[in-house]
Amino acid sequence: MNRLLNILIALCSLIPTQLLAHSNHNANPICLAKACGGASLKCGLDGECRRWLQCVLECGDDQIKCPSRCGFFYQSQAINQTSSCIFASHCVDLGFSALALYEHAARPVEKLEGIQGSYWFVASHGGSHIFDYDCQRFDFAPSDIEQGSLAVTYSVPLTLKGTQRITRAHGVFKQLESGAVEVIYDNFSGYHEKWYVLDKTEDTILAQVCIDAGKFCYDYGTVLLARDQLANLDPDVLSRINGITQAQFGFAVGDFHQSGKQGCAN
């Protein structure tokens, strides 16, 4: 992604060239100029979009977690247009192929029915690329656009360069005929996930997640959403989750990376 950003920034000519030090040979500049030239010029006229470009440029070799942080922190229509073009152009290797291809667990998937209200991202398993910051909150409600889907408001406090924002994104969780839940947010356009809900209780949602890159879906990891932090969950619920993760993936609840909820705004 950094090579792509170098090209876009060069097109805009609005960020000093010394920021172009990091470079990966993963983009086709002619393709990008043809496919994303107009979007990049609009980005160059938008201060928020320029700061987003600079943020991702500074991610170095981290092509997933750091760009996700930049994408949620900086938000504008120009960013949406540029990122959508990046994903659609096929002119750049976005780095997802570094992840394993998704393999569905043997356990049947759950339906979305009954999921409503607020949940926190409390645990994950799968690698350092996972967006596992504290105080990630998901507010679910029935969608008024498509029956059977869920509207979601996602929020997380992020700090970059000494500035903190409570960043928010609105989206839809739509269950497909395959059982997979397609997740599309209104920002970071072009980036899609699929969630496979393997278990749900009144207080928890356990899901496998993959990054949908069209032809392939790349394994993002296993995530647990809950109404309270992991240590406060009912022991019977934790035992249930532990049995599932042990049987399906070979890891225990104790192997989860825990994300904090303590002290988060309600």
Q: How far apart are CA 191 and CA 128, in angstroms?
A: 19
In single-letter form, the type of residue at position 85 comes to: C
C-alpha angle 111-114-119 in degrees, rounded to nearest 5? 100
Mean pLDDT confidence for 118-131: 95
Q: How far apart are CA 254 and CA 5, in angstroms?
A: 39
**DSSP strands (E only) in 133-203:** 137-142, 150-160, 163-175, 181-185, 192-200
Q: How far apart are CA 108 and CA 184, in angstroms?
A: 23
- Give yes or no: residues 130 and 170 share one domain: yes
Give the pLDDT confidence of 134-189 residue by residue, as tens digits. 999 999 999 987 778 999 999 999 999 899 999 999 999 999 999 999 998 887 67
Q: Considering its fold, how many domains does the chain have in total?
A: 2
Instruction: Classify residue 148: in a domain, yes or no.
Output: yes
- Give yes or no: residues 129 and 90 share one domain: no
Instruction: Classify residue 109: in a domain, yes or no.
Output: no
- Give yes or no: residues 174 and 66 share one domain: no
Boundary-marking domain end, from 45, 61, 95: 95
Q: How far apart are CA 202 and CA 217, in angstroms?
A: 29
Residue 64 is predicted with a pLDDT of: 86
- Give yes or no: residues 121 and 241 share one domain: yes
CB 152 within 8 A of CB 173: yes
Instruction: Classify residue 263: in a domain, yes or no.
Output: no
- Give yes or no: residues 138 and 178 share one domain: yes
What CATH number has the domain bearing residue 127?
Answer: 2.40.128.20
Q: Which domain holds residue 88?
A: 2-95
- Give yes or no: residues 89 and 170 share one domain: no
- Give yes or no: residues 135 and 10 share one domain: no
- Give yes or no: residues 91 and 121 share one domain: no
- Give yes or no: residues 154 and 225 share one domain: yes
- Give yes or no: residues 127 and 91 share one domain: no
DSSP-assigned letter for residue 27? B
- Give yes or no: residues 44 and 88 share one domain: yes
Instruction: Classify residue 108: in a domain, yes or no.
Output: no
Enumerate the β-bridge partners of residue 150: 142, 173
Per-residue pLDDT band for 132 (boundaries 50, 70, 90) equals very high
Enumerate the β-bridge partners of residue 167: 156
Spatial CA neighbour of 252 closest among 235, 240, 263, 264: 240
Enumerate the β-bridge partners of residue 165: 158
CB 124 within 8 A of CB 255: no
- Give yes or no: residues 171 and 203 share one domain: yes
Give the pLDDT confidence of 43-101 residue by residue, as tens digits. 889 999 999 988 988 888 888 899 889 989 999 999 998 888 888 887 776 778 889 99
